[in-house]
Structure 1
Amino acid sequence: MNGQKEEKLKFLLARIPPGFLVDSAWMTKHGISRSSTHDYLRRHWLEPLSRGVYRRPLSLTGHPDAARDWTIPVLSAQQIMGYDLHVGGLTALALGGHVHYLPLGSRETVYLYSERPPSWLTKLPLTARLFIRNTRLFNDASLGVDNTDVNLSADSNLALSPWQWPLKASSAERAILEALDELPDNESFHTLDTIFESLANLRPRRLTALLKSCRKVQVKRLFFVFADKHAHAWRKHIHPSEVDLGSGDRAFYKGGKLHPIYRITVPPEFLPQLPEAADGP
């Protein structure tokens, strides 16, 4: 191996932790030729994962499912290759401890948000189903997207690697609005109702900013339907008059009832509870 190839190999090994991925676009950007890539594959410094996608090998003895976990490919796309991509919706809420179950017999569903995601990501043989969504729900595409403080080293798959990076994900305030946007076709009212019950510590200022930035009237109206139903302490600091809720009735849920305040059809159990009539004399 000549000196230039050796330097490129040192660069590659310094930038890619064991188990993490790069694609051919990243290799080209950093001046790693196709012939060098073939040499790295032949010498087992890299292994092919999909067309144009390579992984630095990692011993998976005793952890056969680690190679099919979604977290390391997403971290690779975010932190190594620089794709503008974040985890959101129910997946971000699950990372924050607000989703506690997976339907029996179901594969994990992972919601990712990006305008230009890597085309190979959804083609990887992973244990989860990856759903890619655009970021156009909000006028400000980055509002409420944070580096998580989730302890990723506690994940048995990531614990195989000594490298730990923050996962770029929606805050709970943004994630709940992203999740509401999946109603009713991809998520259920029951699931969102259970999650709302756990959202006692949302930040009113951030919620208000996100509601003002949200482009979908039905998402904003649904938010207030759930928020009123659960009446967490933060609800009294969120004022519908500051948010554009549009005009007119919205026939959103087939077979539902029109909410008398927010004028959107929802399952009957989400209508306000009328006070019980006092007993007569």
Structure 2
Amino acid sequence: MSTVKQTKINQLLSTYPSGIVYLTSWLVKHGYSLDLQKRYRNSDWFTSIGTGAMIRSGDDVSYEGAIFALQQQAGLYIHPAGKTALSLLGKSHYLELSPKKVILFGGTKEKLPTWCLKHDWGVTLDYHRSSFLPADMGLVDVELKTFSIKVSNASRALMECLYLAPKHQELSECYHLMEGLNNLRPNQVQQLLEACSSIKVKRLFLYLAEKANHSWFQHLDVTKIDLGKGKRSIVKNGVYNSKYKLTLPKEFENGEL
């Protein structure tokens, strides 16, 4: 390999962190042609993990390395969400330490690439596309070993849990998660609730926050939050809460949680 090519590969390896995925399209934009990428693979500098994606040969790359590429190289808002985000934030100590399923959220038009879906990350990727919250709102940087990725902040993560409830997320677990969020910032919660388009999520969030008796709940201006009209049934044969117009599991209203 020529000195010029060695310089380019050395620059690539020294500039970007280990543990990440490199997107072929992104590399092309940064001056690494498809032919040059092929030579890197033939020289065992890189290993393909599917069409359009490579990793450093011998590198241990987790799903977070894929998320880094999707966010930083592809410009997508796909991010760890719900319980996964709370775990990464250290907000869910009693949840399993090594989850087998990772919850991801992204915009309605954002798809997980085939290479990401088919590669074995050691976990199952549970991806949900939605627009019930603005794509760029309520995300924070979490520092990992060699790089950082954006994940939902605690407020948004809980709302994502409620978005999945009760079909894909137990409502009782949402309440226990809410109980642990005693230091949320009212202004952040207010902003998300005002921007949220899901009536179910907004009503459940306020109901659980009030039930958990969090001090920050008192600082919310509920009059600015559109809670919609009419009743919402979360479960069948539940108990009706007239304040939030929700039919909830009996244990919620009977104090059995």
Q: Higher strand fraction: Structure 1 or Structure 2?
A: 2
- Counterpart for residue 122 of structure 2: 127
Distance 2:106 2:210 in 1: 28
Q: 1:117 to 1:7 in 2, by over 3 A?
A: farther
Paired residues of 1:92 and 1:170 also in contact (CA < 8 A): yes
Distance 1:272 1:211 in 2: 27
Paired residues of 1:144 and 1:206 also in contact (CA < 8 A): yes
User: How do 1:195-210 residues align onto structure 2 when only pairs under 5 Å count?
Assistant: 195-210=177-192
Q: 1:10 to 1:81 in 2, by over 3 A?
A: farther
Larger Rg: 1
Q: 1:42 to 1:179 in 2, by over 3 A?
A: same
SS at match of 1:167: strand
Shift of 1:135: 4.8
Question: Of residues 113, 116, 124 in structure 1, which corresponds to 2:110?
Answer: 116
The yes-or-no answer on 1:50 pairing with 2:50 is yes
Residue segments in structure 1 that go unaligned for 5+ positions in a row: 60-65, 154-163, 274-281
Distance 2:200 2:19 in 1: 42
Q: 1:81 to 1:56 in 2, by over 3 A?
A: farther
- Counterpart for residue 173 of structure 1: 155
Provide the alpha-carbon RMSD of the alignment. 2.5
Paired residues of 1:22 and 1:81 also in contact (CA < 8 A): no
Distance 2:12 2:105 in 1: 27
Listed one character per residue, the Cα deviations across residues 64-111 of structure 1 (whole Å, up to 9, x for unaligned) are xx54x3222222332345433322222111112222345699723232
Sequence identity percentage: 30
The yes-or-no answer on 1:96 pairing with 2:89 is yes
- Counterpart for residue 184 of structure 1: 166
Q: TM-score, normalised by structure 1?
A: 0.80
Q: TM-score, normalised by structure 2?
A: 0.87
Distance 1:27 1:207 in 2: 38
Residue segments in structure 2 that go unaligned for 5+ positions in a row: none
Shift of 1:41: 0.9
What is the letter of the counterpart of residue 10 of structure 1?
N
SS at match of 2:232: coil
When the two structures are aligned, how many residues end up with a matched partner?
Answer: 253
Runs of 4+ in 1 over 6 A off after TM superposition: 103-106
The yes-or-no answer on 1:29 pairing with 2:29 is yes
Paired residues of 1:144 and 1:210 also in contact (CA < 8 A): yes
Distance 1:103 1:168 in 2: 21
Listed one character per residue, the Cα deviations across residues 90-133 of structure 1 (whole Å, up to 9, x for unaligned) are 21111122223456997232323244344132222112221223
Shift of 1:169: 1.2
Distance 2:15 2:70 in 1: 13
- Counterpart for residue 86 of structure 1: 79
Distance 2:85 2:125 in 1: 13
Shift of 1:57: 2.4
